[in-house]
Structure 1
């Protein structure tokens, strides 16, 4: 049977897996693939995180990286569910992002793994396997959606908590890993729909064999039955 109905789904799943995979590695392994970023606007009103004056702080899935004003990165790979404390320059005010707010980020590699399983299943032309591929694609989309919601919650919480520290001038922004997760979510949704559509095409015999029609020309009226 023709594979043209499955090729878009395979491509979408591959792209979603690649994006989810790199996001799952994240900071501190890949410094630029963080989820939330805290940038200092004023060198005289910096944050200290945790010990050095920070020009920028990158919060990833497994830890964080602090960039000083020489653009040197100091990273801490603390693993699943880390906490992050920042203070003002004279250490008179501080706040902590608790481990309970970063622990949920571990769903990113789970979503990547399920996306990879869906990608492998999508190569089959067997109806049962295609059904499993479609279900797994939507499961991957659901897990990626949960990961994206957790990213949004973390961003909102960090944005709120930095206001507890006095005498600092910082911006809290979404980072590349945040948006890669959003794009991966769209790809997995598209993949689930296309794989499901392709399976229906395979299961429907009328899509492969055209209906026979009786001749209706003028001379057909004189043919014997």
Structure 2
């Protein structure tokens, strides 16, 4: 693959891999890299606990902040659930595991990105093709993960707004936007590698010797060498 396309393709995949890896770790290991969060100004408690000021949802666990400013994270696991009730305990909502199980697509997309990144160092034409296809596969998986993030964000916002006498603001977290950037980088990487392979094929086609187009007279065929 042409160096003009090789280096940018590797860089796109490297940045995408870093962002995807950090997003996959998420909560409770990296509390700042949540998928979505809700901030409460008043009138809400986590089921059976103190009053909350904020709750964050990550790939593996939720974390919440109480009125004292301390952070508590649930045990890491796949497909967790989280319950919230208003201060009077007259209503409650539960973010079920069906809305968080799909977040496990994030590490799957990270694995595909890692494979594409490892293959991107090869100059072989077949491996280059596989690299491009793997990059697009990783982009597709990342798109699925981003769609799941959007669904969780929309559902959380809808459920929290159902609680009476609760002032809440739901917004996407850092992991949400990092997933979007990762998707764009993977698309750029796949296209860059694809264009580089096409240029390599065109360069190979023009490198073969061409036949002379000069026409010889008929009697030249009977001449002795």
TM-score normalised to structure 2 length: 0.88
Tell me if the contact between 2:34 and 2:59 (Cα under 8 Å) persists in the aligned partners. Answer: yes
3-state SS, counterpart of residue 29 of structure 1: coil
**Higher Rg of the two aligned structures:** 2
3-state SS, counterpart of residue 130 of structure 2: helix
Residue equivalent to 2:105: 107
Distance (whole Å) between structure 1 residues aligned to residue 40 and residue 75 of structure 2: 22
Once the two structures are TM-superposed, the CA of residue 52 in structure 1 deviates from its matched residue by 2.2
3-state SS, counterpart of residue 5 of structure 2: coil
Q: Deviations over 1:55-106 (max 9, x none)?
A: 1101001011111123211000241101110011122210101100100000
Distance (whole Å) between structure 1 residues aligned to residue 181 and residue 122 of structure 2: 25
Distance (whole Å) between structure 1 residues aligned to residue 171 and residue 47 of structure 2: 17
* Aligned equivalent of 2:45, options 47, 52, 64: 47
State how many pairs are aligned: 211
Tell me if the contact between 1:16 and 1:187 (Cα under 8 Å) persists in the aligned partners. Answer: yes
Residue equivalent to 2:68: 70
Tell me if the contact between 1:201 and 1:207 (Cα under 8 Å) persists in the aligned partners. Answer: no
Q: In structure 2, do the counterparts of structure 1 residues 101 and 207 end up closer, same or farther at CA, with 3 Å as the change threshold?
A: same
Distance (whole Å) between structure 1 residues aligned to residue 204 and residue 123 of structure 2: 17
Residue equivalent to 1:134: 132
Distance (whole Å) between structure 1 residues aligned to residue 66 and residue 60 of structure 2: 20
3-state SS, counterpart of residue 41 of structure 1: strand
Distance (whole Å) between structure 2 residues aligned to residue 197 and residue 179 of structure 1: 27
Residue equivalent to 2:185: 187
Tell me if the contact between 2:28 and 2:76 (Cα under 8 Å) persists in the aligned partners. Answer: no
* Aligned equivalent of 1:149, options 136, 147, 150: 147
Distance (whole Å) between structure 1 residues aligned to residue 132 and residue 73 of structure 2: 39
Q: In structure 2, do the counterparts of structure 1 residues 209 and 71 end up closer, same or farther at CA, with 3 Å as the change threshold?
A: farther
Distance (whole Å) between structure 1 residues aligned to residue 189 and residue 60 of structure 2: 28
TM-score normalised to structure 1 length: 0.88
- Unaligned residue ranges in structure 1 (runs of 5+): 215-225
Distance (whole Å) between structure 1 residues aligned to residue 56 and residue 138 of structure 2: 26
Following superposition, which runs of at least 4 residues in structure 1 exceed 3 angstroms of deviation? 206-212
Residue equivalent to 1:34: 34
3-state SS, counterpart of residue 40 of structure 1: strand
3-state SS, counterpart of residue 31 of structure 1: coil
Distance (whole Å) between structure 1 residues aligned to residue 22 and residue 167 of structure 2: 31
Q: In structure 2, do the counterparts of structure 1 residues 101 and 15 end up closer, same or farther at CA, with 3 Å as the change threshold?
A: same
Distance (whole Å) between structure 2 residues aligned to residue 182 and residue 208 of structure 1: 40
C-alpha RMSD of the superposition: 2.0
Residue equivalent to 1:200: 198
